Structure 1
Amino acid sequence: MMPTQFPEWFDDGQIRLFTSFIDAHLDHSERFVCISRCSERDVVEYSRRRGDDRPLRTSVITMGANFRVAAANLPRPESAPPGRFILSVGTVEPRKNHALLLDAFDRLTDEIPDLSLAIVGKAGWMTEAITERMRAHPLAGGRLRWLDHVDDDTLDGLYRHAFVSVQPAFYEGFGTPVIEALANGLPTIASNGGALVEAGGARAEFFDPTGSTSS
């Protein structure tokens, strides 16, 4: 539902395509099966804003979480940054809020000399500023690694050897990387945007993605 809620994070073509898609489904579907309570609330609210005169029937069935758990003896990937490293997994796009993550990392690098950051995810859209910042960062290729193409074995190794997982997104409809990290026993810090609190529950720590307040 995000293209209808936060158009500033998407280009015009994405907004038009998604809006026509969701409108057609609202016009013809008997029931919406949603992947989170957050997504359910969002589609119900969109239907209300459209002025639909019939109640929207919904159910929630969360996505499966039978992820592979990395073996304890899995070697550290060669692409991992040195020392203890923060791991953040997700497509590089505006709503993922990588700028806040880099701001926090920059504040911590002097205080914690062995702390590194691995950002895993391909470039999405409207990314020029953040990708240029990552490429031009003084620690790029060393303590800061942007890994835009990794296979499953490499990702498993990163989850196994990371110090902590951080998911700073402004909003998520589900939160798969949070569940992946927790399934691998990785301490997880996530924003309280959208469904991330549902995904992490009592096992994660949360913060305001517009600042630094924990919850």
Structure 2
Amino acid sequence: MGLKRRAALALMLGAALGLGACGKPAGQGGSSGSGVQLGGPFQLTDQTGKPVDQGLLKGKWTAVFFGYTYCPDVCPTTLQTLGSASDLLGARAKNFQVVFITVDPQRDTPSQLKDYLSSSSFPRGVIGLTGTPDQIAKVAGEYKVYFQKSGSGANYSVDHSSAIYLMNPHGDFDSVIAFGLKPEDIRDQIAKAMGKQG
């Protein structure tokens, strides 16, 4: 598939799954009932500087969210909501993790991610991932995530898709968690998915 066609597909799916300008409210996302496959292999670096790949998605239910640490509203709000949803899962939370993948690798170094994700209002044990611009573009393409730098200078922002991707313990895509849901609704969606797989 050519680069222009991939970019058009990413824009189309981004519109369907909700975009966040990290400064503007994002639209609602929806479940992928179209048979679209999301996710795939990646090589990234976590907030401790350790190289990781898609294998970290195996063994637990995972909420994958793309954003960046300089985001003023959508990203911290989403992470706080995921933290609350995880708490509401109770004992089932031991089988759930959150992975935050930056769309701003220029500023989001491992140490920047580590500092940012240490907030007590974010999910316990959240894994932050960064990489080279090419690595981030590749993983964003695997998840059909739209992102685009906006503005210039040190204070630029990054427009990006705001949906959360729920992956099953095999590392396969299960469903989209729409932006703007309450923690209770997210908890219910995750618990229902967990129940489907026994």
Report if TM-score (shorter chain) is over 0.5.
no
TM-score, structure 1 as length reference: 0.35
The TM-score, its normalising length taken from structure 2, stands at 0.37
The structure with the largest alpha-carbon Rg is: 1
Higher relative contact order (CA 8 A, sep 6+): 2
Greater fraction of residues in helix: 1
